[in-house]
């Protein structure tokens, strides 16, 4: 009589599989829970008859995640320099190095010379002050919305904020400026109309309850035609602090963006306080910049809410490196020469064509994005590919296994365009490799 053995009894024990040298090393890199999950997945496949019991170890190794984090590196070939869904501004090499240096213990708020406590992020604040000499003082919180919330809480809680109806914007993902400000306990006093608001409208609304006048740059839309708006200089003459939200994070005028407001110009025109983003045209990490009068900045910095909104050491390091270091990638992308972009597109297309891929260099129009310079087109160049390559470039097996970065482009006239305006020249080889892998 022959006894039949259930194949499931042949499935190796968990501890035996974990003893494999590759899985033991993976535990040091990924942590035991992630490796254990891969082993149990392989064992479940064996129980279901999908693989042989002897293949469990190999299946577990193959199922290991590429890394601990679920975030995937992406080459931004959309033609939108500041793509919010892709994390906005990529950090410079200097900022990345600074973050790595700050990852361990660091003198964030410690004076190594005296052995006593020191001001948190003092180097970052000095760099920011140097970048905006028109500001008497500066402070940094975790994003621009936080900067506005802190200003409203410290300067207008229980009072009124006077703002034009045409500037009550929605800042993305359903978050609206009025709701954000009213959450602080301040009341919104709307003045003017959607298309026309004058300094006189603000003046008529000023009263004992006025905390400040708010000027918001409508950075993600334009109102054209029969329009009027009050300037910072006009509002500064009304005797009430003017808080200006420039949105895009431009600290000084830029010749390619003449209509985009900047912090220096608004402060010089009389704004008492200017707020801006760190991860937009400045090209740094997510942060909210507060720039302006020393007394107001001090009031905000010492408010209890400031503690809840402060930035961590990684942001401190990255922002200082962005301000004091070389030009970040966003700035380089903004000033990229269209002729150079066209030459790069042709070289990439030629390489891909040589591999049998339908690739063509084409002219394109890029945009700033991230709520900056609405309607301003940036001459660019792109590589036009079959639209069918899009899914594989975004999430094909080479991407899932971390062998290749994801590549995100845009679809135009039933073709996939890989716009090079936001792609660093150093990434051209990786872009080619990703397309070749996606086409296999």
DSSP annotation string for 337-394: -HHHHHHHHHHHHHHHHHTT---EEEEEEEEEETTEEEEEEEEEEEEEEEGGGHHHHH
CA of 393: how far to CAs of 68, 344, 401, 437, in Å? Answer: 22, 19, 13, 8
DSSP annotation string for 249-314: ---S--TT-TTS--HHHHHHTT-SEEEEESSSTT-SSS-EEEEE-HHHHHHHHTSHHHHHT---HH
Q: Where is pLDDT greater, at 297 or 65? A: 297
Q: pLDDT tens digits for 402-431?
A: 899 999 999 999 999 999 999 999 999 999
What pLDDT is recorded for position 150?
A: 98
Q: What are the structural domains, with CATH classification, of the chain?
A: 7-63 (no CATH), 74-85+331-439 (3.90.1150.180), 92-327 (3.40.640.10)
Question: What is the residue-averaged pLDDT of the chain?
Answer: 94
What pLDDT is recorded for position 55?
A: 94
Taking Cα atoms as reference points, which of 234, 250, 284 lies closest to residue 132? 250
Buried b / exposed e across 110-123, counting CB within 10 Å, b at 16+? eeeeeeeeeeebeb
- CA 8, distance to chain mean position in Å, is 49
The pLDDT-based confidence of 35 (bands split at 50, 70, 90) is very high
Q: pLDDT tens digits for 341-358?
A: 999 999 999 999 999 999
Q: pLDDT tens digits for 242-268?
A: 999 997 889 999 999 998 999 999 999
Residue 381 main-chain phi, psi, to 5 deg:
-140, 150
Q: Which residues does 333 contact at the CB level (< 8 Å), separation at least 6?
A: 81, 421, 422, 424
% of the chain with per-residue pLDDT over 90: 86
Question: SS3 for 147?
Answer: helix
Q: pLDDT tens digits for 53-100?
A: 999 999 999 999 888 888 999 999 999 999 999 999 999 999 999 999
What pLDDT is recorded for position 317?
A: 98
The yes-or-no verdict on residue 2 having pLDDT over 60 is: no
The yes-or-no verdict on residue 306 having pLDDT over 70 is: yes
State the Rg of the chain over Cα: 27
What pLDDT is recorded for position 389?
A: 98
Strand partners, 216: 245
Q: Where is pLDDT greater, at 304 or 402? A: 304
Q: Which residues does 281 contact at the CB level (< 8 Å), separation at least 6?
A: 82, 248, 249, 250, 254, 257, 260, 330, 331, 334, 368, 370, 372
């Amino acid at each position: 009589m022959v006894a039949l053995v259930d194949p499931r009894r042949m499935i190796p024990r968990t501890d035996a599989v974990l003893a494999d040298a590759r899985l033991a090393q993976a535990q040091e890199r990924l942590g035991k829970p992630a490796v254990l999950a891969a082993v149990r997945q392989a064992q479940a496949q064996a129980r279901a008859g999908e693989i042989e019991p002897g293949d469990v170890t190999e299946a577990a190794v193959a199922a290991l995640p590429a890394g601990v984090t679920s975030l995937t590196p992406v080459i931004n070939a959309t033609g939108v320099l500041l793509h919010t869904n892709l994390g906005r501004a990529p950090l410079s090499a200097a900022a990345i190095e600074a973050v790595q240096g700050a990852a361990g213990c660091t003198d964030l708020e410690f004076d190594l010379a005296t052995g006593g406590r020191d001001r948190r992020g003092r180097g970052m604040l000095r760099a920011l002050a140097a970048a905006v000499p028109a500001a008497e003082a500066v402070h940094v919180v975790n994003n621009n919305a936080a900067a506005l919330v802190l200003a409203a809480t410290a300067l207008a809680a229980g009072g009124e904020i006077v703002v034009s109806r045409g500037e009550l914007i929605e800042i993305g993902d359903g978050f609206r400026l009025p709701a954000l400000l009213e959450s602080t306990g301040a009341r919104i006093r709307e003045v003017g109309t959607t298309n026309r608001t004058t300094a006189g409208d603000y003046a008529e609304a000023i009263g004992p309850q006025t905390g400040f006048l708010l000027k918001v740059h409508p950075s993600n839309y334009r109102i054209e035609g029969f329009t009027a708006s009050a300037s910072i200089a006009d509002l500064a003459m009304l005797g009430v602090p003017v808080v200006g939200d420039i949105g895009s994070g431009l600290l000084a005028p830029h010749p390619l963006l003449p209509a985009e407001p900047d912090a220096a110009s608004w402060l010089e025109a009389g704004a008492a306080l200017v707020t801006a983003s760190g991860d937009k045209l400045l090209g740094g990490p997510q942060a909210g910049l507060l720039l302006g009068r020393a007394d107001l900045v001090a009031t905000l910095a010492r408010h209890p809410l400031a503690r809840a909104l402060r930035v961590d050491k990684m942001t401190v390091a990255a922002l200082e490196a962005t301000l004091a270091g070389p030009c970040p990638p966003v700035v380089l992308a903004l000033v990229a020469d269209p002729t150079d972009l066209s030459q790069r597109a042709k070289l990439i297309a030629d390489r891909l064509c040589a591999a049998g891929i339908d690739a063509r260099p084409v002219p394109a129009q890029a945009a700033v994005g991230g709520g900056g310079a609405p309607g301003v087109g940036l001459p660019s160049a792109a590589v036009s590919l079959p639209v069918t390559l899009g899914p594989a470039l975004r999430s094909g097996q080479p991407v899932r296994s971390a062998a290749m970065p994801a590549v995100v482009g845009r679809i135009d006239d039933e073709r996939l365009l890989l716009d090079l305006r936001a792609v660093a020249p150093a990434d051209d080889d990786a872009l080619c490799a990703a397309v070749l892998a996606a086409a296999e």
